[in-house]
Amino acid sequence: MSMTALFIRRPVGTILLTIGIALAGVMAFFSLPVAPLPDIDLPTVNVTATLPGASPQTMGSSVAAPLEKRFQSIAGLTEMTSRSNVGITQVTLQFDLSKSVDGAAREVQAAINAARADLPATLKTNPTYKKINPADAPIMILSLTSDTRSPSQIYDAVSAAVQQRLLQIQGVGDANLAGASLPAVRVDLDPARLNAMGIALEDVRTAIASSSADRPNGVIEDSRTSWLLYTRTPALAAADYRDLVIAWRGGAAVRLSDVASVIDGAEDVRTSGFYNGKRAVEVIISRQPGANIIQTIDAVKASLPSLRAAIPGDIRLDIASDLSTTIRASLHEVEMTLVIAILLVIGVVGLFLQSWRATVVPAVATTVSLLGTLGLMYLFGFSLNNLSLMALTVATGFVVDDAIVVLENIQRHIEDGMRVRDAALKGAREVGFTVLAITLGLVAVFIPLLFMGGLPGRLFNEFAITMTIAVLISLVLSLTTTPMLCALILRDSAKPAGPSRFDRAFDRLQAAYAGLLDWAIGHRRATLAILAGAFVLQILMLGAVPKGLFPDEDTGSILGAVRSDQAMSFQALEDRLQRIGRIIKADPGVENVVVFTGGQRVGGGFLFVTLKDQKERASARAIANRLREPLAQVTGTTSFLNPV
């Protein structure tokens, strides 16, 4: 007994198996992660070294150079870039795609340890490293603004309440605060006064450190009780330090305010952020690897009421950027295209077969094949993204072919007078090898994509595997479920009725094609000339068509960067970033603009632009192009805008 005969003779088991495949696909659909593109893990490690007060030149020569020398010996390193700014150096290492990021991180740590002897002795701590994925853009940006608080005060008030709560949300991988730093007391010393009084800088530092120490100084005890002695609570404001005695000269106390300006400020004064032109602290949220972007963003939005309740009332929390809006719209369009493709395939089949019973067979085979593909996508760790859904859309036309071949052959035997069950057994057995050959031929088309290397290979690997899975499931169903359904729902051939209107229209189309074919055979030279002309035209058009890894899509977001002269002061850079933010916000197609600089993001400023609804604006590419000219007028800076 053949496999096909086994499933035809046991329809209940076959139906239950088919329903099981369909249910597995339905459950997988609601469990699969959602992303704009397949999850590509680029093995990248970011190394950060800090030396407060050092110039960019010093950081480059004494910190970056020794690290780069050690990193060059790591196997599999394909690209290394470093940036140095005041007090901080960042080295980004990108490795070959075949290398494990965990293994690369261990080798980077070993290289850092080996470079320690070459680094400055004043570098108090070893450089730190972090595994990153440059392909992951922030999924959401929150903005914190206040009319009564400075950015550093906002940072201090929300750093624990907001950041820690966000990190507890399932799917959130990181929540970084940008645009400000913790408040601090800043002491700006006057070298002339220190020199006149003969006070060294180290004496001032020691005095300040001693006054800030929170430690026991001794014990007072009697026969019954013991008291620990502490210094007063460490000072938290500038006023607590101004009267600090740092030295004695001529019997008189020299206080800190005599030789310095003591003010309340921030730990890092070289950081700043703006939201629609207003000073703000930005919360940049990234997802965990493989997390569902839509579910993660929905969870963050659901937590916003509790977050707003946990922060002071004079701080406003707004959503500055939300990646889920464009992802939802994009995936909805692809899903609708998939549904329309299935309906069109079923409609065309029904139109030609002119029997609802016969139409049910390929309809079931097509739907179950696609649902079964979703189930295996879940097992393979894939996601619902534009490429995987596009693969399902394209596969719709392929998976129906096997079912139609089997159905047509069975229908032929029924029309010849054979009983339905016998026709199903014989028809499926006759075309089994043909269906197998068709399927393997289709799978062979995707073999080059399956073994393609590099970034394009990683990107299209999920597309090729999804297509292959759909075609193979279609093969199995065409040899099991399809003949079983034919034997179950088709009916014995009745007396043929007269030709329908569709049959007559198809006969006319067939006659027209036969006439065109007769002309082509009778005018061979003209036919070959047309063929050659079409071939040449295709070659010319292939050279003229723009080329790229992906088509230019409009996701409603623009990422940008601002580069400035290293000699430019931070105050001048901050002023220019404000101007850039105002210019971008003034564009009629822009909804929100976030600009920030400083912190561990070395070099210039960074832009996140959210555009209005697509119906109310031009394309993202057009907006980026028209913004370049006014941004070029901001002297001392170079702005880069890239729609994403």
Cβ distance 408 to 353 under 8 Å? no
Q: Which CATH number applies to 557-643?
A: 3.30.70.1430
Cβ distance 576 to 555 under 8 Å? no
How high is the pLDDT of residue 213? Answer: 61
CATH superfamily of 41-134: Multidrug efflux transporter AcrB pore domain (3.30.70.1430)
565 closest CA partner among 634, 627, 642, 641: 634
How high is the pLDDT of residue 379? Answer: 92
**Of 198-207, 223-232, 377-386, minimum mean pLDDT range:** 223-232
498 pLDDT more than 70: no
How high is the pLDDT of residue 619? Answer: 85
How high is the pLDDT of residue 385? Answer: 83
Digit-coded pLDDT (tens) for 291-309: 788 888 999 999 999 988 8
How high is the pLDDT of residue 552? Answer: 66
442 pLDDT more than 50: yes
Same fold yes or no, 41-134 and 138-182+275-322: yes
How high is the pLDDT of residue 535? Answer: 92
How high is the pLDDT of residue 233? Answer: 55
Digit-coded pLDDT (tens) for 480-496: 998 998 888 887 765 45
In whole angstroms, give the CA distance from residue 407 to residue 430: 12
- The arrangement of secondary structure in 138-182+275-322, i.e. its CATH architecture, is 2-Layer Sandwich (3.30)
Q: Compare 370 and 237 and report the one with higher pLDDT.
A: 370
How high is the pLDDT of residue 19? Answer: 93
In whole angstroms, give the CA distance from residue 520 to residue 37: 46
Does 1.20.1640.10 match the CATH number of domain 3-32+327-496? yes
Cβ distance 246 to 199 under 8 Å? yes
Q: Compare 374 and 603 and report the one with higher pLDDT.
A: 374
How high is the pLDDT of residue 87? Answer: 78
227 pLDDT more than 70: yes
206 pLDDT more than 70: yes
Digit-coded pLDDT (tens) for 247-270: 888 888 888 888 888 888 777 777
Q: Compare 386 and 550 and report the one with higher pLDDT.
A: 386
Three-class SS state of 364: helix
**AA letter at 5:** A
For 266-280, what is the mean pLDDT? 84
Q: CA 476 → CA 1, 9, 376, 393, 423, distances in Å?
A: 17, 16, 14, 19, 19
In whole angstroms, give the CA distance from residue 341 to residue 575: 53
Digit-coded pLDDT (tens) for 499-539: 667 778 888 888 999 999 999 999 999 999 999 999 999 99
**AA letter at 484:** M
In whole angstroms, give the CA distance from residue 384 to residue 375: 12
Query: pLDDT > 90: what percent of the chain?
Result: 13
How high is the pLDDT of residue 86? Answer: 74
In whole angstroms, give the CA distance from residue 115 to residue 295: 43
Cβ distance 302 to 172 under 8 Å? no
For 407-434, what is the mean pLDDT? 85
How high is the pLDDT of residue 215? Answer: 61
600 pLDDT more than 60: no
Query: pLDDT > 70: what percent of the chain?
Result: 93
Structure tokens at 413: 């035997």
129 pLDDT more than 60: yes
Cβ distance 342 to 369 under 8 Å? no
In whole angstroms, give the CA distance from residue 247 to residue 264: 23
361 closest CA partner among 491, 471, 494: 491
Digit-coded pLDDT (tens) for 146-159: 988 888 888 888 87
438 pLDDT more than 60: yes
543 pLDDT more than 60: yes
Instruction: Please give the DSSP secondary-structure letter assigned to residue 116.
Output: G
592 closest CA partner among 280, 361, 366: 280
Most confident among 2-11, 125-134, 201-210, 535-544 (mean pLDDT):
535-544
For the purposes of burial, counting CB atoms within 10 Å of the CB of 614, is it exposed (0-12), middle (13-18) or buried (19 or more)? middle
**Of 128-132, 135-139, 252-256, 281-285, minimum mean pLDDT range:** 135-139
Backbone angles phi, psi at 78, to 5 degrees: -105, -25
Q: Compare 426 and 234 and report the one with higher pLDDT.
A: 426
In whole angstroms, give the CA distance from residue 21 to residue 128: 49
The partner residues of 83 in beta bridges, in order of sequence, read 90
| Domain-wise residue ranges, the chain | 3-32+327-496, 41-134, 138-182+275-322, 183-198+236-266, 497-547, 557-643
Digit-coded pLDDT (tens) for 77-123: 888 988 887 778 889 898 887 788 888 889 999 999 888 888 888 78
Q: Compare 313 and 40 and report the one with higher pLDDT.
A: 313
In whole angstroms, give the CA distance from residue 307 to residue 311: 7
Binning pLDDT at 50, 70 and 90, where does residue 58 land? confident
In whole angstroms, give the CA distance from residue 344 to residue 335: 14
Mean of pLDDT over the chain:
84
**Of 129-133, 244-248, 397-401, minimum mean pLDDT range:** 129-133
Backbone angles phi, psi at 640, to 5 degrees: -120, 125
Binning pLDDT at 50, 70 and 90, where does residue 394 land? confident
1 pLDDT more than 50: no
173 pLDDT more than 90: no
Backbone angles phi, psi at 455, to 5 degrees: -65, -45
How high is the pLDDT of residue 371? Answer: 92
Digit-coded pLDDT (tens) for 577-595: 889 989 999 999 998 999 8
**Residue listed under structure tokens 């329309």:** 340
In whole angstroms, give the CA distance from residue 3 to residue 190: 93
